[in-house]
Chain A
Amino acid sequence: QKEVEQDPGPLSVPEGAIVSLNCTYSNSAFQYFMWYRQYSRKGPELLMYTYSSGNKEDGRFTAQVDKSSKYISLFIRDSQPSDSATYLCAMTGNQFYFGTGTSLTVIP
C-alpha cells in the first residue's frame, strides 16, 4: 500500500464551479499536510499547509484534514481558468511524501 493515495483525474470543470480534491494516507505519524500546485512545465509550489486536524482557509481555497479517517481535502471555490494545474497533496512526519497529483482543467 502506498503511503499516500491520490486520484490522478483528470478533472474538468466549468468556470465558477466548486472543486474538491482528495487524498488518503496510511501513516498515522503524519503531522503536516500540504497542497502543492504545479503548472505545466514548472516546479510544484506550496499552496497551503495544515498542521494536524482541522480546516484552513485562504481566499478561495480551503484545506481540510480528518486524521481519524486519514483523509485530506482541498476545496476551490469559484474556480478560475488560472486554477488549471496539477494539484499534489503532500504530508510529512519523519519523512516527506507526495501524492501523484490530480490534473485539473477549468473551462472558461
Chain B
Amino acid sequence: DAGVIQSPRHEVTEMGQEVTLRCKPISGHNSLFWYRQTMMRGLELLIYFNNNVPIDDSGMPEDRFSAKMPNASFSTLKIQPSEPRDSAVYFCASSKGLAGLAYEQYFGPGTRLTVT
C-alpha cells in the first residue's frame, strides 16, 4: 500500500491567492482527517469525514477554509483567500472507524504551506 498521499508537498503563494491541498487516503479506510501543525499551536484537527460525510468541522478556523470529500479516495482542503498566518504544515490522515474509535491514524507526509 502506498500510504496516504498528499499533494503538493510544498506550496508557496502570495496573500490573497486560493490554495488547494489534496489528499488520497489509504484504500479501505473510511475516516479522513485534516490537521494543521505549527510550532506555536502544535497539531490541530481541522475537520474529519466518515464515509465521505463531514462529521466535525469545529476546528476549521474561518470561513476562508473549506474541505470536501467527493468520494472515498479523494479529499481537498481549500483556503480562499490565503493569509500569512495560514502558513503551516497541513497533514491528512486516514483510519478505519469513527474518530472516537480511530486510535490508529495513518498520516501523509504533509504539505508545507508558506503564504507571503
Contacts and interface: CB of A to CB of B under 8 A. Distances in A.
A34 interface: yes
A49 B42 contact: no
How big is the A interface, by class? Answer: 20 to 34
A48 to B, nearest CB: 10
A96 B107 CA distance: 14
A94 B100 contact: yes
A33 B110 CA distance: 23
Size class of the contact patch on chain B:
20 to 34
Of B91, B99, B103, B104, the most chain A CB neighbours within 10 A belong to B103
B43 A88 contact: yes
A99 B42 contact: yes
B107 A45 contact: yes
B105 interface: yes
B99 A96 contact: yes
B43 A49 contact: no
Interface string A20-56: 0000000000011010000001111110010000000
Given A43-B110, A96-B105, 10 more contacts: A34-B103, A43-B108, A45-B106, A45-B107, A46-B103, A49-B103, A95-B100, A98-B42, A101-B42, A101-B43
